[in-house]
Structure 1
Amino acid sequence: MKNILIILLIIAGIRVEAQNLVEGFVTSTKGDSLPGVNVYLKNTYDGTSTKVNGYFSFKTSATGNQTLVAQSVGFKKREFPVVFNDGPIEIDIELKEAIDQLNAVTITAGAMEASDAKKAVVLKPLDIVTTPSAMGDIIGAFQTLPGTSTVGNDGRLFVRGGDASETAIFIDGLQVGNAFGTTASNVPTRTRFSPNLFKGSFFSTGGYSAEYGQALSSALALNTVDIPLRSQGDISIMSLGGGYTQTLVGKNNSITASANYFDLSPYQSLIKQDFDWERSPYGWDASLAASQKLSNGGMLKAYFQKESNGLKLWQKQPGEAGRGTLIGIKNKYTYAQSNIKLIGKNGWSYTGGASYSDNLDQFDLDSQMVSQQNRLIHLKGVAIKDFSDAISLKTGVESTWSSYQETLVNEGLSRDFLDQRYNVFLESDYYLSNQLIFRGGVRSGYSVLNDEFWIDPRASVSYKFEHEGQMSFAYGTFSQLPLERFRILNNNLGNTEAEHFILNYFISKSGRTFRAEAFHKSYDNLVTFNGYNQAPEDISLSGQGYAKGMDFFYRDRKSIKETDFWITYSFVDSKRKFDSFESQVQPSFAPRHNASVVAKHYVSFLQSQLGMSFSVNDGYTYTNPNLPGEQNAKTKSFQDMSISWSYLPKPNLIIHLACSNVLGRDNIFGYQYGQEANESGLVPGMPVVQGAPRFLFLGIFLTLSSDKSANQLNNL
């Protein structure tokens, strides 16, 4: 018995001597202690977790060559080779933070995103179509965002002291030519595309990605829906017309066909108009969208739209008797595009596509027939690779063909030009940590028509604070060829140029979003000419200017129950020498102060959403020839309060009522003057006013689907 006890004690002693100690500390790359880190030997049950101070220790019977693993949520796993030679192992481990793309810092300088894909966005797609003043127009909603100016007699997007031509619009990365409908002078227009086409958008007020070009101020990138949720039919009956949309959805594909018609004649016969219409605006459009999921996560999309519209309007001339000049417009427009996304090998993904825009305007100017035609073909290919969770690369090539033709139909005279542009861009994101990201890019271009080559560098950096707010800075140079109406007169015109500096603070937390941004934008090589805007002479690129200021945005979906509201304010100090001006002036399209408030409240017992939006600016500058100087006068402030009511008596039925300028504010956008003085020695003038005191919209939207629950809320 004594011998057996001795043997057991010897065996126990051997086992105790075989226990090896492993100990050390785990810290972050910043030197902070990391508690709760799992430290263990690979393929064994031996290990432990670090204490509050990052210390760990455990014993193991493992021998020889082993692998020590340190692993924790939010940090990259690390493995270390260790060798047990009958002695303790002391090792200190440093863990690098893993990049969490969902919660990591993002570039926010000059960038505002509207989507359902991310948490920290400014607007959702539904916000765009339920903003009362927008009347279902995408641009109308973006005009309530910081950095934009409301120019009520135009309707297009004016950003930070830039005119509407300085904003480029892209659909699925492809440039759209003539994205706005053709209209007469001082008659506001709208975008051509329905909001329900898009799942999200990216709106930049400056400093935008090297992927986009041909815009001095802003890029608006719209992304179309991949596969709709269900098969359904949508009927729209409106005070302006009606339409029908049919969507068929399969397992991996879909097709949507739509047709719409509008005619404002019945509406304008009931509502008093300040414009002298000979033929109220009318038109139709038809579209077809198709999508197909491909293997390995790829997607193929195609879209086609055809439309035709027209109007006839008497425009009174200052100091002249009678109704004025009769202007007739007929417009035909075709847009088509196709794009594909492919998932390649070794982490590469590829996108490519082509778009085609064809716009034909026929003007009848007091029996003088003028025809203008724009065509744009855009080809693009992009390659993207994530080399790690910290480094990504995007590179692409583009080719663009643009043509323009003007014809005096009665005289049989015509002139035109064709230009080919080639672009290459490269851009890379580098996450130094979840708190710090750097983006650098460059875009180059070449125009065949004016034999010009250019390079535009761009860079951004963003840092995220511990309280979840983040600071961003962006810099970039931007080039844009002049408008066709200038290039047709001087084919050798080169690029106009802008340089952006942007500093941004952004935080989105607990249902509240705050954004503040300061900017400085300088212009060079702006188009100047002698004579009148309708007949420019001696066109050159001798203009320059600047725009500087700041804007603020606050959105709150938390403080008031069932209520969502946002408030914006923008200050813009802009002066430029351009067009026929002889000195730097404040442009008429760049009010110094712009503000807006949008609020939406859901009333459950009424099954309704009530909306209100209010926009205001400090007025528009204009030149009064009876006073010395240029841009020497200013209108009273622009003010517009719009309201809306969306009533859902059934899940698939919506009745939507909206009214703009409900208070009947007599807004004036400037003054138009004659060319000669009258008997009193004064040049006669007349105000540029809005088409009617108010605009009233009534729509009934019925959705037909198998589950009876789908609706057209996104179409409002």
Structure 2
Amino acid sequence: MNQRLILFFFFFLNQSWVFAQTQISGRVLDENGLALPGVNVFIQNSYDGGSSDEKGEFDFQTDLEGTQKLVFRLMGFHSSEIQIECEGQKLTLADQYLKEAITDMNAVTISAGAMEASDEKKSVILRPLDIVTTPSAMGDIVGAFQTLPGTSTVGNDGRLFVRGGDASEVGIYIDGLRVGNAYGTTAGNVPTRTRFNPNLFKGTFFSTGGYSAEYGQALSSTLALNTKDLSLRSQGDLSLMSVGGGYSHTLANEKQSLTASVNYFDLKPYQGLIKQDFDFERAPFGRDAELAFQKKMKDGGVWKVLARSEGSGMKLWDKQPGENERAQLIDLKNSYSFAQSNWRKSVENDWSLFAGAAFSSNRDQLQVDTLPIHRKQQLLHLKFAGIKDFSDRLSANSGLEYFNVSYEEVLSRGSFQRDFEDQQLFVFSEWDFYLNKNWVLRAGARAGASSLAKQSWLDPRFSLAFRLADDSQLSFAAGKFSQLPVDNLRVLNPKLESTNSNHLILNYLLQKDGITFRVETFHKSYSNLVVFEGYPQFPENPKNAGDGFARGVDIFFRDRKSLKNTDYWITYSFVDSKRQFDQFQTQVQPGFAPNHNFSMVVKHFVGKLKSQLGASFSWNDGFPYTDPNFPGEMNRKTQSFQNLSLSWSYLPKQNLIIHGAISNVLGAENVFGYQYAQERNSTGNFESQAIGQPAPRFFFLGVFLTLSKDKSANQLNNL
């Protein structure tokens, strides 16, 4: 009897347990309706749950009763929760959909017109070390970017020319703040360089068009330089070079770092050994001092300060066409200072804030024979911006900027003076919409106003990118871009309005296993360009009456995998550009915009020699120019330009580097145009002289020594 009673209660309770269980089943899909295997499906605060199979289906049982919270979780996707009622019976759920989480690593990026040089971004084209070790660059940031698609090498100028645009159409920024007079002042077709040392920066963003609404006052391109964060260690860096030397000292800890440097260069000893085609009374010389400070704030923000002061000069006999004498003497002295401070911080509610101020001051003292000319340019830039991440699919970058621009010219010992001051206000907002990891839409606008021109404008901009496969994508960009004319023209006519350009860009990008392939086609239209009477050196009556266009295709290929210890990239650009500007009466091909541009850079590391060998080759099909002895404008063209450069970096010790480079190894006689006499000679012709290189070749030799407790530290990034 007892055994029967026990068996009765056992089967009764067992049936009760079975009836109390709830069986839960369903299916999990992604946003496109595809099955998601491996999704963890469980009841919150319990051990009851299961995983989805290859069909996205799941099925499990629970003893829990009443209202419960069911959680769906899979790495790379946003978790999802729903409420269910457990009533001891089978529960079949409707299809559940998980949204993929968008991150920097899996999201498609805007690549139209954009080229990154950073150690932090996945879609980079060049890295900081690539910039400073390009043989033809000779340590100049712009020199390295002249090997990228869309650029032209104009050897008698040295600045950055992009897609048929003048160098003044490229805006240069440091940590988001505009730099005034970023190139050193020069004269007489002597090429210039950027003022700032490459070792200041951790990354660079270079846009050949269609750039972000955050940046403005650039018709063609932006070059945004981002300074380093905290230095890793305290150290001293000594540089001894064939053209000068310098010393830099860094003090660093976990919370802050300070770097101070001084440099001096003088080309007089070098030019005493290497014959120059230019007639220097005093070879170019200069000195600079620089200070960079970074600090992590207690509230989590980062504060940076950068300050630079420099002075330079040269004396050059500027020979005129048709004259046998040394002609006029140009005595140039330049003083320059730049200072900026900026603060960044991530705050609550997914906000990132930025505030910064920058001031540039440039003074030129120029004497042409007995005529003294003094120029002063100043730029103040204040900026406040914020990025709000509403979700991983929607973010906005908005900000407010103020510019104060002043310019002054004093001629003939103060007997004649002209100047202007302009207050400029800008506001921008740009929104990124990630439809999913394969689609991103960026839309924004930038509005501005000028007190001097009494003008306001609105520039809408739009970009779209679509991932074709894991390693390839298409991007499209379009927008309007405005820029006020250069200072020396605005001082002649303060009523000059903004010049305008419209960009259309289509880009294909492939990045796979050390291979990068990029092809981009573009069309750029110009309106309201400035034209004037007279000569570029002495313009008269400038007005907004010019227009034009530039169109073409850029190709870039980089391979870091196929050849052992070898990295190389190849660039080709075709540009068809016509514009009416400056003194020209019709639309012409600009003298700084060759149709065909080709470059190749190769770097090979030889372990046994502890050396990196480099070579770079640049070529274009020549520069158009006007010969007044024949009818028409831009009626002639120079021979093709070519430059083969070689470099060798040798590390005998980890903290010691010996670096040598030589440009134009083959000694090509490159000509960039011709200068003509303003009057005819006795035979009725305008005599000419070629505008060429300072010398057939340029040699550089430097020794870089690092002094620190870490004996492996060196200046490789500074070459």
TM-score strictly above 0.5: yes
- 2:242 corresponds in structure 1 to 239
Secondary structure of 2:391's aligned partner:
coil
Tell me the residue number matched to 1:28. 30
Match of 2:172 in 1: 169
Asked whether 1:146 is paired with 2:149, we answer yes
Q: Which aligned pairs between 1:277-426 and structure 2 lie closer than 5 A? A: 277-410=280-413, 412-426=415-429
Q: Tell me the equivalent position of 1:671.
A: 674
Q: Secondary structure at the match of 2:358?
A: strand
Partner residue in 1 for 2:224 = 221
Gaps of 5+ in 1: none
Deviations 1:456-512 (A, max 9, x none): 011111111223201110111010000111111101001000000010111212111
Contact 1:527 1:540 in 2 (8 A): yes
8 Å contact from structure 1 (residues 274, 690) kept in 2? yes
Q: Does 1:684 align with 2:680?
A: no
Bigger Cα displacement from structure 2, 209-218 vs 48-57: 48-57
- Aligned positions of 1:643-654 closer than 5 A: 643-654=646-657
Specify the alignment match of 1:38 in structure 2: 40
TM-score for the superposition, normalised by structure 2 = 0.99
Aligned counterparts of 1:296 and 1:69: Cα–Cα separation in 2:
35
Say whether residues 1:529 and 2:548 are aligned partners.
no
Residue of structure 2 equivalent to 1:699: 702
Q: What's the offset of the Cα at 1:227?
A: 0.6
Q: Structure 2: which amino acid aligns with 1:309?
A: S
Match of 1:580 among 580, 583, 597: 583
Does the alignment pair 1:592 with 2:595?
A: yes
Is the Cα–Cα contact under 8 Å of residues 463 and 471 in structure 1 kept in the other structure?
A: yes
Distance 2:542 2:159 in 1: 25
Match of 1:17 in 2: 19
Shift of 1:411: 5.1
Q: Does 1:95 align with 2:98?
A: yes
* 2:499 maps to which of 492, 496, 513: 496
- Which range moved further: 253-262 or 296-305? 296-305
Say yes or no: does 1:77 pair with 2:79: yes
Aligned residues: 716
Match of 1:601 in 2: 604
Alignment partners' CA distance in 1, 2:300 and 2:677 = 62
Question: SS of the residue aligned with 1:7?
Answer: helix
Q: Structure 2 CA distance, aligned partners of 1:357 and 1:28?
A: 53
TM-score by length of 1: 0.99
The answer as to 2:563 corresponding to 1:560 is yes
Letter of the aligned partner of 1:227 in structure 2?
L
Q: CA deviation at 1:47?
A: 1.3
Contact 1:206 1:217 (C-alpha < 8 Å) held by counterparts: yes
Spell out, residue by residue over 1:549-580, the C-alpha distance to the aligned partner (whole angstroms, 9 max, x if none). Answer: 01011111100000010000000000001111
Which of 35, 55, 58 aligns to 2:57? It is 55
Selected match of 2:278 from 272, 275, 278? 275
Q: Distance in 1 between the 2:383 and 2:663 partners?
A: 40
1:184 maps to amino acid:
A
Matched-pair identity in %: 58
Greater mean deviation of Cα atoms: 340-349 or 593-602:
340-349
CA contact (8 A) 1:28 1:94 kept: yes
1:714 aligns with 2:694: no
Distance 2:415 2:533 in 1: 27
User: Any idea what SS the aligned residue of 2:306 has?
Assistant: strand
SS in 2 for 1:522: strand
Match of 2:78, SS? coil
Q: Deviations over 1:405-440 (max 9, x none)?
A: 001143532111000100011111111111111111
- Does the 8 Å contact 2:533/2:541 carry over to 1? yes
**What's the CA shift string for 1:194-225, capped at 9, x where partnerless?**
00000001000000010111100001110101
Give the distance between the partners of 2:262 and 2:394, measured in 1 at CA. 45
Alpha-carbon distance change, 49 to 411 in structure 1, aligned in 2, over 3 angstroms:
closer
- CA drift of 1:532 comes to 1.5
How far apart are residue 344 of structure 1 and its match?
2.2
Tell me by how many angstroms 1:55 deviates. Answer: 1.4
User: Partners of 2:681 and 2:171 in 1: how far apart?
Assistant: 43
Give the AA of the match of 2:82. F
Aligned AA (2:500) = E
Contact (CA 8 Å) 1:296, 1:343: kept in 2 or not?
Answer: no
Contact 1:214 1:479 in 2 (8 A): yes
Q: Which runs of 5+ in 2 are unaligned?
A: none
Following TM superposition, by how much is the alpha carbon of 1:707 offset from its aligned partner in structure 2, in angstroms? Answer: 1.6
Aligned partners of 2:188 and 2:316 also within 8 Å: no
Q: How far apart are the structure 1 equivalents of 2:339 and 2:470?
A: 46
d(CA) in 2 for partners of 1:608, 1:112? 28
Q: SS in structure 2 opposite 1:297? A: coil
Letter in 2 for 1:258: S
Q: CA deviation at 1:272?
A: 1.5
1:624 to 623, 627, 647: 627
Give distance in 2, aligned partners of 1:317 and 1:285.
33
Give the SS at the match of 2:568: strand
- Pairwise CA RMSD: 0.9
- 1:17 match: secondary structure: helix
State the Cα distance separating 1:312 from its structure 2 match.
Answer: 0.6
Q: 1:540 aligns with which of 520, 538, 543?
A: 543
Amino acid at match of 1:174: L
Single out whichever of 353-362 and 672-681 deviates more from structure 2: 672-681
1:107 and 2:126 correspond: no
For 1:574 and 1:462, how far apart are their aligned partners in 2? 27
Given that 1:305 and 1:335 are in contact with CA atoms closer than 8 Å, whether structure 2 keeps it comes out as: yes
Alignment-derived partner of residue 68 in structure 2: 66
Separation in 2 of the partners of 1:573 and 1:244? 46
CA distance in 2, matches of 1:584, 1:602: 48
Read off the aligned partner of 2:77 and give its amino acid letter.
F
> Which residue matches 2:490?
487
